[in-house]
Amino acid sequence: MKAPPSPVARTNRNKTGHFFLALDPAAFRTAEAFEEDLEERLARRRGIAPIDPAQPVLIPGDPEHDETARRREGGISMVPTLVEEVGGVCAESGAEFLLS
Name the pLDDT band for 8 (thresholds 50, 70, 90).
low
Q: What angle do CA 51, 52, 53 make, to 5 degrees?
A: 110
34, burial (CB in 10 Å: exposed 0-12, middle 13-18, buried 19+):
middle
Closest residue by Cα to residue 78 from 96, 98, 93, 64 = 98
pLDDT in tens, 34-79: 999 999 999 999 999 999 999 989 999 999 999 999 999 999 888 9
> Domain residues of the chain, as ranges?
27-93
Residues in Cβ contact with 20 at an 8 Å cutoff, skipping those fewer than 6 apart: none
